[in-house]
Amino acid sequence: MSSQTPAVPMRKVAVASCVGTTIEYYDFFIYGTAAALVFPKVFFPALGATAGTVAAFATFAVAFIARPVGAILFGHFGDRIGRKRTLISTLLLMGIATVLIGLLPGAATIGVAAPIILVVLRFAQGLAVGGEWAGATLLTAEYAPPAKRGLYAVFPQLGPAIAFALSSGTFLVTNLVMGDADAAFLDYGWRVPFLVSILLVAVGFYVRMSIAETPAFVAAGGTAGLDRPKRLPFLEAVRKQPREILLSAGSLTMLFAFFYMGTTYLTSYGTSKTGAGLTRPVVLGIGIAAAVAFGIVIVVAGVLSDRLGRRRVIVYSSALGVVWSLALFPLLDTGSPVAFAVGVLVTLMIFAVAYGPAGSFLPELFQTRFRYTGAGLGYNLAGVLGGAIPPLVAPGLTASFGSIAVGVMLAVTGLISLVSTLALKETRGTAMTAGQASEATVA
């Protein structure tokens, strides 16, 4: 570690990365839950049930289009002025956009302006998350010792699990307090989770302000720019490591597909009369249980990646995903609450097997000088392929060909991830700076 870098306990770094991603993804996920449960009626009432659901998920997908833009924008500043200050900016942008969504009047009040403003604010959320993940994972990966990087890198990865439990729990409590007053929930109840996020942002801001800049950034010259990119970090990353950007995006495609199908599309499918037909509290309760389960698996997978290698663990997840995709919807179509719970749990646990090592795998693939940009681009391009497209086309596939078509689509994402991961090198034990000795020799 550079002598210029103050010693920071890894526990403090881990908490800062976890708290930040939890807040960012809480804001991101409450939108997904609202898109599944209320947005078709609040913002697209004239389109009808099916078209309204497609439109709501289209606004959900807008954020995934924004994520690569956010990766480039915030990656530029993360690689030029530092990880810490950039992460504070992403946190504030996400918090402001989320609160404004909670205050936005519906289509019945301001007409077509409502969905237009919603899309703009959703784009802002996407920009923030696009810059968040790479910075949060670099915060732990650039502090952690090589032999334990897989372990410490799971802390920012736990953010989505905690956030999904919080978002589902907030909607569940709001729904239970209001009972069967569906009109009240549609009018103002759904807004509560969005407005509550301002408290979480304040906590995250305080925690992140207490963390020093990462040793790897300081060792590379810090803001003095001794080893900063001579041109735009985006251009340098694309010129020097295009293969790693594209293959890392392919490697994580199934991860995104499974996660957003499990957390967003299946929430809608579970409450739909043409789907599982379950009550809203049951579906939200299952979501909370699933969040606990896949959070545990994320930790286990991250620890295993320190022993078996990042690449091998992600390959296992992709192979499992191909098989499970073809069994998922026949299981869900039984209409049993138990079958639905198993479907959500297994889908998210397979996602978690790959997500645990991803926090160390992508940062280890890229050079320090443009690591924020490169890791962010790979991750967020995967978000477009796996997170935006499947939930958007799934309702149409189900209507035209039956639910099995969605399973086939998910299996294809698994094959893409399997082939892409096999084409990448193993990174376990890679040194994050020129002066850091590599541990755990990799063949």
Q: What is the per-residue pLDDT across 177-201, written as a single tens digit (0 to 9) for each? A: 776 556 777 777 888 888 888 888 8
Q: What is the pLDDT of residue 258?
A: 92
319: confidence class by pLDDT, cuts 50, 70, 90 = very high
Amino acid 246: pLDDT? 96
71 or 168, which is more confident? Answer: 71
Q: What is the pLDDT of residue 439?
A: 43
pLDDT number for residue 306: 94
Sorting pLDDT into bands at 50, 70 and 90, what band is 358? Answer: very high
Identify the pLDDT of residue 273.
60
> What CA–CA distance (Å, rounded) separates 360 from 428?
8
Core vs surface per residue 218-234: b (16+ CB within 10 A) or e: bbbebeeeebbbeebbb
85-143: pLDDT as tens digits: 898 899 899 889 989 999 999 888 898 898 899 899 999 988 998 888 888 888 888 88
Percent with pLDDT over 70 in the chain: 91
CA dihedral 56, 62, 63, 66 (to 10 degrees): -170
Max mean pLDDT among 54-58, 159-163, 359-363 falls in 359-363
The arithmetic mean of pLDDT across residues 277-298, rounded, is 85
Is residue 270 within 8 Å of residue 278, measured between CB atoms?
Answer: yes
* Segment 254-274, tens digit of pLDDT: 999 998 888 777 777 777 665
440 pLDDT higher than 50: no
Identify the weakest region by mean pLDDT among 148-152, 253-257, 283-287.
283-287
| pLDDT reported for residue 182 | 63
Q: What is the mean pLDDT of residues 406-423?
A: 95
Which amino acid is residue 422, in one-letter code? L
pLDDT recorded at residue 194: 87
| pLDDT given at position 160 | 84
DSSP string, 255-266: HHHHHHIIIIIH
Contact 413, 260 (CB under 8 A): no
Confidence of residue 442 (pLDDT cuts 50, 70, 90): very low
Q: CB neighbours of 313 closer than 8 A, spacing ≥ 6?
A: 301, 304, 305, 353, 354, 356, 357
pLDDT digits (tens, 9 = 90+) for 46-80: 787 778 877 887 887 788 788 889 989 999 888 88
Model pTM score: 0.80
DSSP string covering 301-315: HHHHHHHH-HHHHHH
Average per-residue pLDDT for the chain: 83
- Tell me what pLDDT residue 227 has: 53
308 vs 24 pLDDT, higher one: 308
Token couple for 242: 């295009």
Report the alpha-carbon distance of residue 215 to residue 218 in Å, rounded.
5
Candidate from 75-79, 171-175, 360-364 with smallest mean pLDDT? 171-175
Length of the chain: 443
Q: What is the pLDDT of residue 2?
A: 41
